[in-house]
Chain A
Amino acid sequence: MALLGAAAALVVLGFLVVGAFDALALLVPMRVERVAAMVLVGVAIAVSTVLFQTVTENRILTPSIMGFDALYALIQTSAVFFLGSGTVNGLAPPLRFAVEVAAMLVFSFLIFRWVFGGARRSLYLVVLVGIVFGVLFRSLATFMQRVIDPNEYLIVQDRLFASFNAVDPTLLVVCAAVVAVASAWVWSRRRELDVLALGRANAVTLGLEHHRSTMAVLLVCALLVSVSTALVGPITFFGLLVANLAYLVAGTHRHAYVLPVASLLAVVTLVGGQTILEHVFGLDTVLSVIVEFVGGIVFIMLLVRGGRR
């Protein structure tokens, strides 16, 4: 744990100063915002994925695989489509963000309810449905992008590609507050989460109000997912990678260990990966593509192995 913490601090520092020695004073402040965004996103994705996997009792389902990124893209596009880019850009960023998060929350909660509220469906069916939903949302978004006029389309496109280059400072502050509050709440409930992870029957036997607990956790999940997607856009497999690595590294199911380990791993991977890509290979926004590639392979391996606890 301490080792990971040190590594995380190191990569953040590295990102701030690498290749900037002759212009430290100028470059570091510019990079602070981007690092902050990455740290926030890393923590949000890690925590939400671990929570989600605890509640759904599986190792392969993550919020983003369920099509949430695509949903976000659709919400963004719909906003421009129905209101026009003038209206959308006229809103103050925090307000726009609040509206988007509200929409995400409503929709994601509906999907959660539909998937986990009624009859217990097969896990794989749920994953497949999530992926197809993703395709549907993406196609709908593309359709709208074709129908609106090209200038408007450019505005949408600008805001959809996962990148840490254009983060709005006021947004950052709002997101930081949300992530901090959510993380604190999760930390205070860490023991309850351990019980939840034992499965419904055991949790009820041990005196936990299972349904209420589950719904509360899912709500926090949706909130964190909204934050991370709104900040940088879609990174489908990142959560899956980090969560499964964390289970391996932590060697325990106790959330007091798994959550911090996952968060730190996420920060190390994101910031480290971005640093290496930018300064070693001179590439810019392809981190998400690499994560997609590796994550897809890991996902298939998990499926081959059976993917259940």
Chain B
Amino acid sequence: MTGPELRSGRGAVSTTAPRPAARLHPGTGAEAPPAARSQVARPVGRPGVLRQRLGLLGGLAAVLLLAAISLFVGVSELSVGDVLTGDLDDAQRQTLLASRVPRTVSILLAGSAMAVVGLVMQLLVRNKFVEPSTAGTTESAGLGLLVVTLLAPGMPLLGKMGVAAVFALAGTALFLLILRRIQLRSVVVVPLVGMMLAGVVGALSTFLAYGNDLLHTLSSWMTGDFSGVVRGRYEMLWIVAGCAVVAYLAANRFTVAGLGQEFTTNLGLNYRRVLALGLAIVAVTSAVVVVVVGGLPFLGLVVPNVVSLAMGDYLRRSLPWVALVGAGFVLVCDIVGRLVIYPAEVPIGIVVGIVGAGLFLYLLLRRPSGAR
């Protein structure tokens, strides 16, 4: 690859993201030096666009391949040839349509949506280490589910999700309130507070569950598991897909909102509205995933960070990748969980927890130490 090509192609946006806040004069966005503007929106050369699209297609193909593998992993016999020629008996067709397909589709939806939601949170809070499980969102949704199960066990699934979403929203709002009060905004204090808050909410849930003999139920809820996903239950996850699409359309607004209230207002955006939209997306997605699947810890934290390491922070380009990598990551974890103690399976939440925590530690420790 030659020099100019490099500039117009993959290197068009420097991988160390330009922080517009540092470049644009705060409060006077209009007076930004021209250099800065060209940094943010430099026209991208044709070969670059083509290569990006090819890359995305390649990624998509890889994820689809994984999804196909995931379809054929399981206890009942299904052969690839039979499925392609339609040569199935009734039992096999039932297995495929009522269990395998819903499972794989829900993995794709939940994985990509949780990754995207993590990215949205990181933009809004301007912190690389925030995601639903490090902000008390997931735990709050779990508490909501527990409360609604205790008070109104007969409520339909959608109602339960609604309650869980309200709790998740309240928990996240509380987290943001606490953050406002904190003097020391070091990078790692933010997730620290969130995890503590999650612990407090979790203790509350444990106490409630203990008093009502639901401890076991609670722990199985909070551990992500796709084995219970069947037709008639997973359709709710399409709500999540809708949320992800909205997040993509509003991505630039979230970026701007991350730069602070004054800056946002100066650009003519309603800061509160953008923040509310972002929080709603986060809460609804987390609640739906917790109710249908369970917790997938660190997913929304690890995936966007890995993508950002690989291709920088130009959101328009990285968001589809975040969704793809999220889906692929969960697919791989799920296949591993299903094969380790075949024919039984290890819940995916545990596999994701191990891999996610390991990667999170790596991300934490590769930063230069001593940053206070």
Contacts and interface: CB of A to CB of B under 8 A. Distances in A.
B286 to A, nearest CB: 18
B interface, size bucket? 35 or more
Nearest to A123: B372
Given A119-B369, A147-B346, A289-B203, A125 B188 contact: yes
Contact of B193 (A121, A139, A303): A303
Contacts of B238: none
B203 A296 contact: yes
A40 to B, nearest CB: 25
B240 interface: no
A181 to B, nearest CB: 34
Contacts of B304: none
Contacts of B199: 236, 292, 296
A259 B166 CA distance: 45
B350 interface: yes
Contacts of A119: 369-370
Contacts of B364: 125, 128-129, 132
Given A122-B371, A289-B210, A297-B200, A127 B192 contact: yes
B354 A136 contact: yes
Contact of B365 (A127, A129, A142, A303): A129
B360 interface: yes
Residue in A136, A147, A236, A290 with the greatest tally of chain B CB atoms within 10 Å = A136
Interface string A283-303: 100100110110011011001
Given A129-B365, A139-B354, A289-B203, A147 B341 contact: yes
B209 to A, nearest CB: 10
A89 B203 CA distance: 32
B357 interface: yes
B350 A143 contact: yes
B354 A293 contact: no
Nearest to A284: B210
B229 interface: no
A124 interface: yes
A124 B206 contact: no
A120 interface: yes
A127 B203 CA distance: 20
A95 interface: no
Interface stretch (B24-32, B179-187, B313-321): B179-187
A286 B357 contact: no
Per DSSP, chain B at the interface is helix
Contact of B203 (A121, A128, A293): A293
B350 A135 contact: no
Contacts of B50: none
Contact of B196 (A139, A140, A296): A296
A198 B367 CA distance: 29
Contacts of A121: 369-370
A127 B297 CA distance: 18
B190 to A, nearest CB: 9
Nearest to B197: A300
A304 B188 CA distance: 13
A283 B210 CA distance: 9
A288 to B, nearest CB: 9
Given A122-B369, A122-B370, A289 B206 contact: yes
Interface in B168-213: 178, 181-184, 186, 188-189, 191-193, 195-197, 199-200, 202-204, 206-207, 210-211
Contact of B181 (A143, A146, A304): A304
15 contacts: A127-B188, A128-B191, A128-B192, A129-B361, A129-B364, A132-B360, A135-B298, A139-B353, A139-B354, A140-B354, A143-B354, A286-B210, A299-B196, A303-B184, A303-B196
Interface of A: 119-122, 124-125, 127-129, 131-133, 135-136, 138-140, 142-143, 146-147, 236, 283, 286, 289-290, 292-293, 296-297, 299-300, 303-304, 306-307
